[in-house]
Amino acid sequence: MKKTSIRSTGLRAAAAVALFAASAGCAGQAAGGSTEKNTVILTNWFAQAEQGGYWQAMAEQPAKGDGVTLNVKQGGPGIQTIPQVAAGQAAFGVANADEVLVARKNGLPIVAVAAGFDTNLQCMMFHKAAGIKTFKDLNGHTVARVPSPYWDFLKHNFGLNRVKEINLNGSLADYKRQPGFVQQCFVTSEPYTAQKEGVKDFAMLSVAKDGGYNPYGNLLFTTERVIKENPDLVKKVVAASVQGWKNFSVDPGKAKAAVQKANPDTVPEAFDFGAATIKEGGYLGAEPGSMTDERWKTLRDQLGSFGAVPKDFDYGKAFTTKYLPNG
């Protein structure tokens, strides 16, 4: 299953801002494409275990007693989550923290309200025989990746000026044929596929743990408008999502059923592998949903080091912890 950590959400800012402006005057619903009874969370890819907390929250509806019904919508290749949320087509969306900062730099008024993964899932996979020990060792290799801030950081930070970059196609075919081939992956996904396809010398480097680049992954975001016009809705949706992630960690069965319904192509065993990896690896952190100013400042500084955002960019407006259950 093809997964990418970064999509071109912030790169069509001008069109998205225009669409946002056109939609901002629409009446008949609460701000941001939701009513008090039916609130949409738009995910950043097809339904999968990596979005499990949101699907768990939809299955369990912990905010229904407070008048809020969550309606999670899966994304896909044609979904630009950040511009669509900014345009009011959904009240909430799922994205990575670096996407949020780049989008705000490009003028989109979005705000992260709860973390998803405390440790980002992005990795680079290769054959053990390639002799790769650190990210510096990617020099001289062909790397299949999606153009994205994480990859720009790796290139800048590790001096990757002798890499042949190609676009990721979502298949392991090239990886299996070429001993020196390197391919981006998620720790929750491609290891399962590699094992099923008989790859015995599979190895990975974690972008977060080995590369030092760790944006919050699959976080929940909304718009400044939704926060201003319906802060109570934001608080309820955040609480429901955080509870969804906590319950997913205990028993992901309801999320699995919801994912399989939304995405019939889901391989049940692949979902189980992803859910188990998330739990066993502690990828949600000690307190699901929590965010710190220090982490956001570090991310701003890293993005600023290669020009993705200005070095003095005001990262503080890109997130708020006000609506988290722990405050």
Residue-wise pLDDT tens digits, 185-198:
999 999 999 999 99
- Identify the domain boundary among 206, 225, 248: 206
- Whether residues 147 and 280 share a domain: the answer is no
Mean pLDDT of all residues in 25-45: 67
Confidence of residue 120 (pLDDT cuts 50, 70, 90): very high
What is the overall mean pLDDT for the chain?
91
- pLDDT, tens digit, for every residue of 123-149? 999 999 999 999 999 999 999 999 999
Under a CB-based contact definition with an 8 Å cutoff, are residues 310 and 143 in contact?
no
| Crossing angle for the helix pair 253-262 and 268-280, to the nearest 10 degrees | 140
- pLDDT, tens digit, for every residue of 63-103? 999 999 999 999 998 889 999 999 999 999 999 999 999 99
**CA-CA distance, 7 to 106, in Å (whole number)?**
15
Q: What is the dihedral of CA 244, 278, 120, 284, to 10 degrees?
A: 40
Q: What is the pLDDT of residue 298?
A: 98
- Whether residues 27 and 99 share a domain: the answer is yes
* Percent share of the chain, pLDDT over 90: 86
Mean pLDDT of all residues in 273-294: 98
- Whether residues 164 and 239 share a domain: the answer is no
Confidence of residue 295 (pLDDT cuts 50, 70, 90): very high
Residue 250 domain flag: yes
323 φ, ψ (degrees, to nearest 5):
-100, 5
Under a CB-based contact definition with an 8 Å cutoff, are residues 119 and 283 in contact?
yes
pLDDT surpasses 80 at 34: no
Mean pLDDT of all residues in 227-251: 98
User: At 152, which CATH number?
Assistant: 3.40.190.10
- Whether residues 141 and 104 share a domain: the answer is no
Q: What is the pLDDT of residue 170?
A: 85
Domain that holds residue 155: 122-206
pLDDT surpasses 60 at 12: no
Helical H runs in 6-96? 13-23, 52-60, 81-86
pLDDT surpasses 60 at 284: yes
Q: What is the pLDDT of residue 98?
A: 98
Mean pLDDT of all residues in 234-250: 98
* 71 three-class SS: strand
* Higher pLDDT, residue 14 or 70: 70
* Higher pLDDT, residue 17 or 75: 75
Confidence of residue 259 (pLDDT cuts 50, 70, 90): very high
Residue 5 domain flag: no
Residue 323 domain flag: no
- Whether residues 115 and 219 share a domain: the answer is yes
The DSSP letter of residue 168 is -
Mean pLDDT of all residues in 282-296: 98
Residue 326 domain flag: no
Mean pLDDT of all residues in 53-61: 98
Residue 254 domain flag: yes
Residue 256 domain flag: yes
Under a CB-based contact definition with an 8 Å cutoff, are residues 81 and 92 in contact?
no
The closest of 95, 108, 106, 82 to 224, measured between CA atoms, is 108
- Whether residues 56 and 143 share a domain: the answer is no
- Whether residues 289 and 184 share a domain: the answer is no
Q: What is the pLDDT of residue 326?
A: 83
Q: Which helix (H) or strand (E) holds 307?
A: none
Confidence of residue 256 (pLDDT cuts 50, 70, 90): very high
- Whether residues 82 and 133 share a domain: the answer is no
Under a CB-based contact definition with an 8 Å cutoff, are residues 114 and 103 in contact?
no
- Whether residues 65 and 101 share a domain: the answer is yes
Mean pLDDT of all residues in 218-231: 98
| Structural domain count, the chain | 2
- Whether residues 225 and 304 share a domain: the answer is yes
pLDDT surpasses 50 at 16: no
- Identify the domain boundary among 178, 206, 234: 206
Could you tell me what percentage of the chain is helix, strand and coil, using 3-state DSSP and rounding each to the nearest 5?
Answer: 45, 15, 40
- Whether residues 129 and 195 share a domain: the answer is yes
**What are 95's strand-pairing partners?**
219
pLDDT surpasses 60 at 22: no
Under a CB-based contact definition with an 8 Å cutoff, are residues 240 and 55 in contact?
no
- Identify the domain boundary among 159, 178, 206: 206
Q: Is the pTM of this model over 0.85?
A: yes
**CA-CA distance, 105 to 107, in Å (whole number)?**
5
- Whether residues 239 and 299 share a domain: the answer is yes
Q: What is the pLDDT of residue 33?
A: 56
**CA-CA distance, 6 to 29, in Å (whole number)?**
30
The DSSP letter of residue 217 is B
